Structure 1
C-alpha cells in the first residue's frame, strides 16, 4: 500500500525547503538590486526571479524527474566523474564556503550591530555556539522536518511578513534613479544578480536530501516522491518570491533613508531602523540569524547525508565533523571567504545548470550517453574560463567569446552542444543504431 503525507507534513516539507534556501545572501542581494534598478524595478525584479526562483525550482523538479536523487541525474556519466563532481559541489556549497558563510553573516548582522566588533576571539566564540546548535538540530535527521519545517520556519515567516507589510504600508523613502547596467539592460542585469544566491547548486543537494526524508516517511514509489518534491519546490518558490518582491520594494523606496548603499545589508539596516526604530533592529537580527541558522542546518544535513552514503561513516559523526569544519573555516572572515568563493562558484555553476538541462533533454538526444557527457564537458571548460576571469586573471585572449564580459561565456556553447545532440537524433545512422539497440 502506497503511503501518503498528511497536509501538515506536506506544508512542513515545503516550509523546510523554503527555510533551507533562505540564507542571508537571499536577504541582502534584492534590496541593493531594487535600489540600483530605480525606475526599472519591474524588469530587474523579473530577471532576478528567473534565476533566483525559477532555476532552483526547475532543478528540484529535475531531481524529482531523474529519480533516485543524484545517482539518477548522473547515471549516464562515468561513475568516477559523477562522484568527483558531486564531491566538488557538496564541498563548495557545504563546509568550504556556503555553510561557514551563514555563521559569518549571522555574526555580522545579527550580533555585531549590538555588541560591536569583538575581535577574533568574539567571532570564534560565536561560531562555536552557532555551529554547535546547528549540529544538535541536524543530528536527528528523522526529526529534521519537524524541527525546521514546523517550528523554526513559521517563526521566520512571521518576522519576514512583519517587515514586508511595513515596507508596503509605510515606505520610508523615495525611488532612487537607476544606475549602472540597470539603465540599459535591467532584465539581463537582474538575471545575472540572481546567480548570486547560488540556489541552483543548493537544489541539487536539497533535492537528494528531501528524497531521503520522504523515504523515511514511508514514501518509496517514484510518482509520490516526484509529487511531494515538486510541491515542496513550489511552496518554497512562492515563499522566496514574496520575500524577494518585498525586499526589492524596500530597496526601491530607500532613497533618503540609507546613506550607505554599498551593500544590501546596509540598506536593510537603515530602512528597518527608520521603519521600526530600535526594536526593528532586533527584528532584523532575528530574521538574519534564523535565516542563516536554518540554511546552515540544511547544508550540514545534506552534506552529511551524501558523505554517509559515499563513505559509510555514520551520519551523526559526519554532522559533528562538518559542523566543526564550518566553525573553523568561518574564522577566516566574511570578506576573505566571499573573495575566495566567487571564482570557484562561477566555474562550477555552469556544470550544475548544464546537468539540469540535459536531465530534461536527454530523451531528445541521439546517442544520449555521449551527448550528455559532451554537454557537461563544454559547460565545465567554458565555466573554468569564466572562473579564471572572476579570479582577476587577464583573459583578453577569450574576449571574443559571446557574453564573456558578462561571466556567461559558457551559456551559448552549452546550448549549441545540446542543439547538436538533438540534431544527431535526426541522423539516419544514429536512428539505425537506436533501432538495433
Structure 2
C-alpha cells in the first residue's frame, strides 16, 4: 500500500509539472488583475475549464490504455489518424515544445543575463530535454521525484510572499462577465490537448512499475490526476490572488508576461527575477520533457516501431530547437489556427470515450466530430477576416464554446442513423 501511494504521488507530481507550463504561469495573474475583488468567481470558471477538462482527458486516455488513437478510433480510422497526428505535431514540435524554450529565454534568461545568445540557449535547453527524455520509462520518475518539488518550492515562495505582504488594495472588477472570462482563460490554456498526449507517458510509467491490469492503471491514473489537480488548484488560486492585489496599479493593457515579471520584482526585488527564472525554466523544461516523450511514443506506435522512439525524440528536439528561435509571438501566431481546428473535436471524443459503453452507434461519434470540425473551420475563417455571422450567433459563442450545441444536435441525429458497419464498440470494447 505504501508503494502504491508513493507511486500515485510521484505520477501526480509529474502530471502537475507537465501541465504547468509557462503559459499557465501567465493566465491566472492576469485574470486576477481584471477581476479584482471578484477574483474567486473568475478563478472558479478558470479551474473548471482548465483542470476539469484535463481530468476528463486523463481519465479517457487511461481507459484506453494510454493509446491516443483509441480515443479517436470510433470516429473513423482516417479521422483518428489525422486528429492524432495534428494534436501530436501541434502540441509537440510545432507549438508547445518550441514555445517552452522561447518562453524560458524571454522570461527567465534575458531579464537576468541580458544579451545571452538565443541559439546557444536553445541548444542547451534541448540537449537537457533529449537527455532526460531518451528513456521513456524514466521520464515520469525524473519529473515527479526531482523537478516538481523544486518547481513547487519556487512557486510557493512567490505566492507566500504575496499573501504575507500584499502589494496593494484589491479593486472592483473591470469586466462584467467574470465567470465567463475565467472559463475563457482556462479554455485558452489548451491543457486538455496536453492531457490527451501526456496520458501515454503516464500509462507507460505505471505499467513499468508493475501495474499491468487495466483496472489498476485507470484507477492510478485518475488518482494521480487528482493529485495534479490539487496542486494546480493551489498554485492557480495563489497566482490569481497575486494578480488581484495589483489591480490598482495596472490596467488590462499590461502584457501578461510583463505583469508576472513586475509582481515578482515588486515582491522580491532582483532576487525575484532569479526566482521567476527558476520557476519558468522548471515549468518549461518539465513540459518539454513530457511532450517530447509523448510525441515519440505516439509516432513510434503509429509506425509499429519501424521508426524508433529514440530517433523520433531526437528529431523532435532538433526541429523544436529551430522553431523556438522564431520567438513566442510568432510561434503562437502561425499555430493558432491549427489549435482552433483540433481542440473542439478532441474534447468531444474525450467526453464520448468516457461514455463509450453507453453509446453503441459509432455514428454518434462520427456525426458529432464532423460537426465540431465544421464549426472549427468557420471559426478559423472568422479569424482570417471572412465574415461568418452564424458562428457569433450560436449559443455559448461568448465563452468560446459555440460548437457545443451543433455537436449535441449532430450526435442526436447520429444516434438515429443506423451504422452500415459493425460498431467498433462491439468489436473492441474499451474497459471501464
Partner of 2:88: 90
Q: Given that residues 83 and 342 in structure 2 are in contact (C-alpha distance below 8 angstroms), is that contact kept between their aligned partners in structure 1?
A: no
Partner of 2:270: 278
TM-score calculated relative to the size of structure 1 = 0.90
User: In terms of mean alpha carbon deviation, does 405-414 or 344-353 score higher?
Assistant: 405-414
Unaligned segments of structure 1, at least 5 residues: none
CA, structure 1 residues 186+259, in 2 after alignment: closer, same or farther (shift >3 Å)?
Answer: closer
1:125 and 2:117 are equivalent in the alignment: no
1:226 and 2:214 are equivalent in the alignment: no
Q: Given that residues 257 and 270 in structure 1 are in contact (C-alpha distance below 8 angstroms), is that contact kept between their aligned partners in structure 2?
A: no
CA, structure 1 residues 384+186, in 2 after alignment: closer, same or farther (shift >3 Å)?
Answer: same
Distance 1:260 1:189 in 2: 13
Q: Indicate the RMSD between aligned Cα atoms, in angstroms.
A: 2.3
Partner of 2:189: 197
**C-alpha displacement of 1:302:** 0.4
CA, structure 1 residues 6+109, in 2 after alignment: closer, same or farther (shift >3 Å)?
Answer: same
**C-alpha displacement of 1:419:** 4.2
CA, structure 1 residues 5+77, in 2 after alignment: closer, same or farther (shift >3 Å)?
Answer: farther
Distance 1:205 1:268 in 2: 28
Match of 1:107 among 82, 105, 119: 105
Q: Deviations over 1:282-337 (max 9, x none)?
A: 11110011100100001101001111111221111111110000001111121111
Match of 2:148 among 148, 153, 163: 153
Q: Given that residues 346 and 390 in structure 1 are in contact (C-alpha distance below 8 angstroms), is that contact kept between their aligned partners in structure 2?
A: no
CA, structure 1 residues 174+230, in 2 after alignment: closer, same or farther (shift >3 Å)?
Answer: same
Please give the secondary structure, in 2, of the residue aligned with 1:412.
Answer: helix
Alignment of structure 1 residues 178-327 onto 2, 5 Å: 178-179=173-174, 182-183=175-176, 185-258=177-250, 262-311=254-303, 312=305, 313-327=307-321
Partner of 1:347: 341
Distance 2:389 2:290 in 1: 40
Partner of 2:357: 363
Please give the secondary structure, in 1, of the residue aligned with 2:293.
Answer: helix
CA, structure 1 residues 265+93, in 2 after alignment: closer, same or farther (shift >3 Å)?
Answer: same
Unaligned segments of structure 2, at least 5 residues: 427-432
CA, structure 1 residues 146+364, in 2 after alignment: closer, same or farther (shift >3 Å)?
Answer: closer
Distance 2:40 2:391 in 1: 33
Q: Given that residues 30 and 264 in structure 1 are in contact (C-alpha distance below 8 angstroms), is that contact kept between their aligned partners in structure 2?
A: no
Please give the secondary structure, in 1, of the residue aligned with 2:355.
Answer: helix
1:334 and 2:316 are equivalent in the alignment: no
**C-alpha displacement of 1:341:** 1.9
Distance 1:68 1:156 in 2: 26
User: In terms of mean alpha carbon deviation, does 308-317 or 403-412 score higher?
Assistant: 403-412
**C-alpha displacement of 1:124:** 1.4
1:379 and 2:372 are equivalent in the alignment: yes
Alignment of structure 1 residues 3-18 onto 2, 5 Å: 5-18=3-16
Distance 1:9 1:361 in 2: 28
Match of 1:30 among 28, 42, 45: 28
Q: Given that residues 32 and 261 in structure 1 are in contact (C-alpha distance below 8 angstroms), is that contact kept between their aligned partners in structure 2?
A: no
**C-alpha displacement of 1:418:** 3.3
TM-score calculated relative to the size of structure 2 = 0.91
Q: Deviations over 1:12-39 (max 9, x none)?
A: 1111111100100000011011100123
Distance 2:392 2:137 in 1: 50
Distance 2:349 2:334 in 1: 24
